[in-house]
Structure 1
Amino acid sequence: MQSPPDRDPAEVYVASVGTALPGDPIDNATLAKALKINAEWIDHFIGTRTRHFARDLGTGTVRWSLADLCAQAGARALGASGVDPADIDFLVLATATPDNLMPATVNHVADQLGLDQVPTYQLQSGCAGAVQAIGLGRTLIAGDGHRAGLVIGGDVCSKHLDLNRDLADAAPSDLVNFVLFGDGAGAAVLTAEPAAEAVALRRVLNRFTGLGREPGQVIDWFGLADRYEDRQAVKEDYKAIEEFVPVMAVEILWEMLGDLDWSPEDLGYLLPPQLSGRMTRRIHEELDVPGAVEVSCVADTGNNGNALPFLQLEQLLGQMSSGEKALAVAVESSKWIKAGFALEKI
């Protein structure tokens, strides 16, 4: 049975966004040389030009933790919001790649930002996690009476990749994990009253739809009992992702438009799912909203998971004018989640 639409809470606003990408961009030629693979294959199969890594490609040294990147993004969002950090009532972090199982990375981020005596939440999720963080932040403000909160999404995917592995005989479904992903973080300040950018958060969609379906992606966290098993940490069913994500994206678009009573012509901007340069182009074509400006970043940032919607938002806020509307679509293929959010500039 179809779930009823969520009730619209009181108004909640996006006041500002901040992002953090580690180090200089790594182009395909540099990545291909480090991994001893074909750069043309990356260009053709992935369609992503550059990405950023928290690890040094040559030495494998981790230069930034997830907490470091999230704190940088959070500080930038706070600085742009005009909201005093003392007025932040909660902190939410979404990630698929926490620094530790415990303590939760969100609490290291709070510590770096100097936030104390506030509720903290960490959501374990992939691409839809950032939308879940925004949705939870919206609920905390609209339903619990908080005045302002900081929501963050970030991932450091490169720590799961063995840069010394011989990839000569790797299958494309395995090799894709070495070239698809990047690292980064993004954050937004949500408020109960218009502030700074004054963009109203009109709707958030977050729905699990994977009942009875095999995961499209699995990331293992090895413990002492299984760390020596001969299996890869990251597995991707790329063919299933290519088949189902575009279809799900179109379904999300039309469901959200219907719930909002908006038409495609109302949209000034469209933020499509950010899988890879090639897949994002394909999905954008299938969404077929020619009057809306596409806001995409993955071809330059790599797929850095929960950072992506915030990177898109940062681009969007620099373009929106009063009265303009935008809709973001996100799909998580790990266990098939539909997600998205709608914005209107006040």
Structure 2
Amino acid sequence: MRTAQIIGTGGYQPGDPIDNATIEKLVGPLPDDVLNGLTIEQRFWMIDPRTGEHFDSNSGMAYKAAVAALAAAEVEPAEVDLMILATGTPDYTLPPSVNLVQEKLGLESCATLEIRSGGAGAAQALDIARLWIEQGNATTALVIGVEAISPAIAPVFLETEPDKIRMRDRIPLYMFGDGAGAIVVRAGEHGGLRRGATRAIGGLRKPGIWAIGGGTHAPLLQQQRSKKLVDLRVDVVGAGDFTPVMVSEALSHTLEAGQLAAADADWCLIPEGNAGWMLDSMRDAGVKTADWEALEGRIFDNLAMTGACGCAAVPLFLDNAWRNGMIQPGQRVALIGVEATKWMYGGIVCDWTAPTPSPATQSNESV
């Protein structure tokens, strides 16, 4: 039986880590309870925090993560016949970032898709790759999640004194980071990805996050006259209320689709799954389900060290866990991504087959 196996991952984050003390100098402090609830200690930006100057790009970070993943999988770029990229912050409206990465990899021809589902996108992309491979339409797929959020939030503090910045505008600076993660999926004969799950459950709810500007929602001349070309708005209260509901449904739906009991899962990746605000909100909302309780001690992410990085979160956190030897062949891993813009989730279960990478391929530094 033809299956789709994860055979390698790669991750990349630009520049030096930016700690909370640096953010405080830029935008002012947060109340201790809010800061502790975010559970984020550092993040990485593709811009210079002092000037806003770019020293990387969305497609550049995606390319670097892709190179790291291909090297870990011992796959040449020319072997890739399907590339799927998830991002909410592309270099341009058109052409798609996935095709810019294709060009950087030197690939004359391959099937390409781009997904704009935020944090849910990478898990959705893995399920699409699984289908293509199982049906014989592809042999080697490269799935990439990448986010360049810092350029959108830099106008909050550039040329503005910290004490002039509103509290609600400070929070995104403490939350978001940039980066990319990539996953190589190849046809095999056993193990690998199981059927995935995805749903948008906020069709009648207002967005939890809006990135307003640069699109066609209003005349471009009108947008140019706005104080900020891109306005990133985060409904902190709404996210606190509804994200736990979305995560709970995502977990149960993913396990059901993958025919895996929570007690039989070795690991479950949920970005922000261990964040203080999330756990408090789940308890208050009464949505810490039996599945969640059964997974106690086996839910992981790397949020504290990366910041919230949207589409990059699932592949970036997976890469960290695999390279650190946490995930081993024979284990069953559930990968879940959630997105608060319109309350979407994607999840997929994997019977892990890839051995821990050798020391020679452990590094995920800039290439």
TM-score by length of 2: 0.84
- How far residue 260 of structure 1 moved from its aligned partner, in angstroms, is 3.3
Instruction: Give the 3 Å change call, closer, same or farther, for CA 255–277 of structure 1 in structure 2.
Output: closer
- Which deviations, in whole Å up to 9, do the C-alpha atoms of 1:33-82 show, x marking residues without a partner? 12243585763352210000100111211001011100000000011112
Query: 1:259 and 1:128 mapped to 2: Cα distance?
Result: 16
| Aligned 8 A contact 1:48 1:276 in 2 | no
| Aligned 8 A contact 2:201 2:246 in 1 | no
Q: Are 1:175 and 2:160 an aligned pair?
A: no
| Aligned 8 A contact 2:63 2:104 in 1 | yes
Query: 1:256 and 1:40 mapped to 2: Cα distance?
Result: 35
| Aligned 8 A contact 1:267 1:327 in 2 | yes
2:342 is aligned to 335
Which of the residues 246, 249, 253 maps onto 2:247? 249
| Worse-matched range after superposition: 140-149 or 85-94 | 140-149
1:240 is aligned to 238
| Aligned 8 A contact 1:276 1:303 in 2 | no
Instruction: Give the 3 Å change call, closer, same or farther, for CA 107–316 of structure 1 in structure 2.
Output: same
2:363 is aligned to none
Gaps of 5+ in 2: 215-219, 354-367
| Worse-matched range after superposition: 288-297 or 117-126 | 288-297
Which of the residues 330, 335, 340 maps onto 1:323? 330
Which of the residues 176, 180, 198 maps onto 1:185? 180
| Aligned 8 A contact 1:327 1:340 in 2 | yes
Instruction: Give the 3 Å change call, closer, same or farther, for CA 137–221 of structure 1 in structure 2.
Output: farther
Q: Which amino acid letter does the alignment assign opposite residue 329 of structure 2?
A: S
1:4 is aligned to none
1:75 is aligned to 67
Query: 1:170 and 1:144 mapped to 2: Cα distance?
Result: 54
Query: 1:47 and 1:311 mapped to 2: Cα distance?
Result: 17
1:299 is aligned to 304
Instruction: Give the 3 Å change call, closer, same or farther, for CA 246–88 of structure 1 in structure 2.
Output: same
Q: Are 1:12 and 2:10 an aligned pair?
A: no
- How far residue 172 of structure 1 moved from its aligned partner, in angstroms, is 3.7
Query: 1:98 and 1:240 mapped to 2: Cα distance?
Result: 26
Query: 2:246 and 2:4 mapped to 1: Cα distance?
Result: 27
Kindly report the root-mean-square deviation, in angstroms, between the aligned alpha carbons of the 2 structures. 2.4
Which of the residues 104, 109, 123 maps onto 2:115? 123
1:3 is aligned to none
Query: 2:210 and 2:315 mapped to 1: Cα distance?
Result: 23
- How far residue 319 of structure 1 moved from its aligned partner, in angstroms, is 2.0
Q: Which amino acid letter does the alignment assign opposite residue 16 of structure 1?
A: G
| Aligned 8 A contact 1:265 1:291 in 2 | no
- How far residue 307 of structure 1 moved from its aligned partner, in angstroms, is 0.8
- Which deviations, in whole Å up to 9, do the C-alpha atoms of 1:169-214 show, x marking residues without a partner? 54443321222100000001111126xxx86111321212222211
Q: Which amino acid letter does the alignment assign opposite residue 243 of structure 2?
A: V
Query: 2:163 and 2:33 mapped to 1: Cα distance?
Result: 13
Count of residues paired in the alignment: 335
Gaps of 5+ in 1: 1-8
Q: Which amino acid letter does the alignment assign opposite residue 70 of structure 1?
A: A
Q: Secondary structure at the match of 1:226?
A: helix
| Worse-matched range after superposition: 38-47 or 288-297 | 38-47
Query: 2:9 and 2:329 mapped to 1: Cα distance?
Result: 18
- Which deviations, in whole Å up to 9, do the C-alpha atoms of 1:265-300 show, x marking residues without a partner? 101112123388433555798332345523211111
Q: Which amino acid letter does the alignment assign opposite residue 264 of structure 1?
A: A
2:356 is aligned to none
- How far residue 154 of structure 1 moved from its aligned partner, in angstroms, is 0.5
- How far residue 330 of structure 1 moved from its aligned partner, in angstroms, is 2.1
